Amino acid sequence: MMDYEGYEVEFETRAERRRKARTQSRPKRKEVDVRTELVERSDSSEFGFQPSYKSSHHDHGEMQWIISALSGFYADKLIDDVLRAVKGGKEASVYVCAAHPSTGVEFIAAKIYRPRIFRSLKNDAMYREGRSIIGEEGKTIKARDKRVQRAVHHMTRFGQELRIGSWIGHEYETLRLLYEAGVDIPKPYAQGGNAIMMEYLGDDQSAAPTLNHLALEPDEAQPLFDRVMRNIEIMLAQHRIHADLSAYNILYWDGEIKIIDFPQAVDPRINPHAPSLLARDVERVCQYFSRYGVKADARLLASDLWMHYMRGEL
Ligand SMILES: Nc1ncnc2c1ncn2[C@@H]1O[C@H](COP(=O)(O)OP(=O)(O)OP(=O)(O)O)[C@@H](O)[C@H]1O
Ligand SMILES: [Mg+2]
């Protein structure tokens, strides 16, 4: 287990230490909560959880990482086992889990963020603008907790832990909001620590392909394009822009599409880059479908959407 006490000392200023010595005050409640959450997250190999999945490289580190990220969901009777890796990306890996019988489904997908996300988080300023820090289970960490804010700003290790938690908490909250609104996304089940548990698209042989990996039938293209555009509109009505939408983040299964991968989603009410992020999403979708002969003016579609959104007409 990591020593989180060390992190505290790392970003404690001299003035704070003096004040503490004078007042002998107990740590603020929020700080205690945050520390407890972080320690809980790094617990590993509990509850007798022994996944049958074997890392292809017999990578002990990967197995420990999976066990530590998913044993809580095993204890909570959401999953019984980890079966296969779907894909290891730059920021996260997705695994197929055998669902617990009480869920009523056969499989559940687990998206586990890797620690190296720290590197790319340095470039997330544009997406984070105006966003508050979200802890586990969507609890917002108060902006007035200056020490937490400063830690995040300076990218101390404690701050990095908070940022990664914030990123994942934000993705999960977005998934819940959009699923409720009827957007075509995998059903979100739970979030904790580095993992998001959601509906698995695919079967026992293979996971659903992303749009860029398949050839659509000529008569499928237009209805699927309309469907993606309708999804963008419903998301916007919920004050959300995906902000990394492309054929790489749209799954295709049973003739239908599901949009995935929401950590960078933005709220146009507070993010000043919203119009250009929306335009880029629409542009990429139009570009992909144009190879199937779907004719659409991306700029016009994006500006129409934005105009209706601004007028409160969506
Ligand atoms: N619910 C799901 N069911 C089946 N497969 C999924 C699911 N969610 C994600 N995947 C697969 O895992 C891959 C990575 O997921 P996602 O796009 O959310 O993460 P990422 O961090 O963006 O990874 P990458 O950098 O590879 O895009 C997807 O491209 C898709 O193939
Ligand atoms: Mg992706």
Does this model's pTM top 0.85? My answer is no
pLDDT at site 138: 52
The answer on pLDDT for 78 being more than 70 is: yes
pLDDT band at 34 (very low <50, low <70, confident <90, very high): very low
Q: How far apart are alpha carbons 214 and 255 in whole angstroms?
A: 12
> Does residue 168 line the site of ligand 1, with CB under 6 A?
no
If you take atom 2 of ligand 1, which residue's CA is the nearest one?
Answer: 200
Are the C-beta atoms of 36 and 58 separated by less than 8 Å? no
> Does residue 198 line the site of ligand 1, with CB under 6 A?
yes
Closest approach atom of ligand 1 to CA 200: 3
pLDDT at site 194: 93
- Range of weakest confidence among 124-128, 252-256, 268-272: 124-128
If you take atom 26 of ligand 1, which residue's CA is the nearest one?
Answer: 89
Output the CA angle 170-184-306, nearest 5 degrees. 75
From 79, 260, 264, the mutation candidate for ligand 1 (largest count of ligand atoms within 8 A of CB) is 260
User: 312 C-alpha vs ligand 1 centroid, how far in Å?
Assistant: 33
Angstrom distances, CA of residue 177 to CA of 3, 5, 133, 138, 236: 35, 35, 17, 12, 12
Average pLDDT of span 27-39: 46
User: 63 C-alpha vs ligand 2 centroid, how far in Å?
Assistant: 22
**C-alpha closest to that of 281 among 262, 308, 254, 257:** 262
The answer on pLDDT for 121 being more than 90 is: no
> Does residue 244 line the site of ligand 1, with CB under 6 A?
no
pLDDT at site 60: 77
From 94, 121, 201, the mutation candidate for ligand 1 (largest count of ligand atoms within 8 A of CB) is 94
User: 87 C-alpha vs ligand 1 centroid, how far in Å?
Assistant: 7
> Does residue 86 line the site of ligand 1, with CB under 6 A?
yes
Q: How far apart are alpha carbons 244 and 262 in whole angstroms?
A: 8
**C-alpha closest to that of 183 among 136, 138, 234:** 234
pLDDT at site 123: 54
The answer on pLDDT for 242 being more than 80 is: yes
Average pLDDT of span 242-258: 97
> What string of DSSP letters covers 27-46?
PPHHHHHHHHHHHHHT--S-
Comparing 149 with 91, the larger pLDDT belongs to 91
pLDDT tens digits, one per residue of 134-179: 555 555 655 557 776 666 666 666 666 666 667 899 999 999 999 9
pLDDT band at 23 (very low <50, low <70, confident <90, very high): very low
pLDDT at site 51: 93
pLDDT band at 12 (very low <50, low <70, confident <90, very high): very low
pLDDT band at 61 (very low <50, low <70, confident <90, very high): confident
Instruction: State the catalytic residues.
Output: 244, 261
